[in-house]
Amino acid sequence: MAAPNPIPAAPRSASDRYVALAVFAAVLVLIGLPAALATGASWVDWSDSAKPEQAATPTWLPAETVRATSGEGEVIKAKVALDVPDADTRSWLKSRPQQVALVMQIAVAEHDRGGAEGAQRVQRLADDVQERLNDYLVAHQVQPVRDLVIQDLVITKP
C-alpha cells in the first residue's frame, strides 16, 4: 500500500494569529502577575503607592562627634547622625564639617535640659541641635535635615 498524500495545512489568516497571541498574553498575565506578586517582585508592589510621604527612606550621614561644656558645668560628648534630604545637602554638609560641628557644639552648650532625664533629655537635646542646625542650613539656602539622632551620649557631671 502506498502512503497517502498528506493533506497540506491551510494557511492561517492574520486574524487567527492575533487571536492566538491574545490568548497567550491573557494566560501569561493571569498566571505571571499573581506569581510575581507571590514571589515579592518589587516592580509589582502597589501596597505603598498610596502613601508617597512614607516613600522617602532615611539617608543617614554621620557627623563629627560633638564635645561641649554646658552652662551647668557638664561635659557632654555626643555622636550624631543626620537624615539628609538630598545629595546637595549631603555634599554641602560634608564640605563644611568644622562649621557644622561648631553649630552643633553651640547648641549642645546652650542646651537647657529643663529637668528632663534619661531618654526624654536625649530627645530634647536632639531636637535642640536639629533646630539650630536647620536654622543654619536655611540661612545658607540649603535644605534642612529631616531628622537628627544622637547615637551615643556621654555626660560627665562636675
pLDDT, mean over the chain: 83
Domain that holds residue 19: 14-42
**pLDDT tens readout for residues 98-125:** 999 999 999 988 887 777 788 888 899 9
Identify whether residues 28 and 67 lie together within a single domain.
no
> Do 86 and 28 fall into the same domain?
no
**pLDDT in the model for residue 111:** 81
| pLDDT value, residue 13 | 72
Instruction: Mention every residue, 6+ apart, whose C-beta is less than 8 A from residue 98.
Output: 64
Confidence (pLDDT) at 48: 53
Does 49 fall in a domain?
no
Kind and range of the H or E element at 95?
helix 87-95
pLDDT of residue 144: 95
Specify the pLDDT at position 68: 93
- Residue ranges for the chain with pLDDT beneath 70: 1-12, 40-56
pLDDT computed for residue 38 by the predictor:
72
Same domain, 27 and 62: no
* Position 141 in a domain: yes
- Grid coordinates in use for 65? 562627634
Q: What is the pLDDT of residue 57?
A: 78
pTM tops 0.85? no
Q: Which three cell numbers stand for residue 136?
A: 543654619
What burial class does residue 108 get, using C-beta atoms within 10 Å of its C-beta: 0-12 exposed, 13-18 middle, 19+ buried? buried
| Whether residue 130 sits in one domain with residue 95 | yes
The span from the CA of 75 to the CA of 71, in Å, is 10
Write down the pLDDT at residue 157. 87
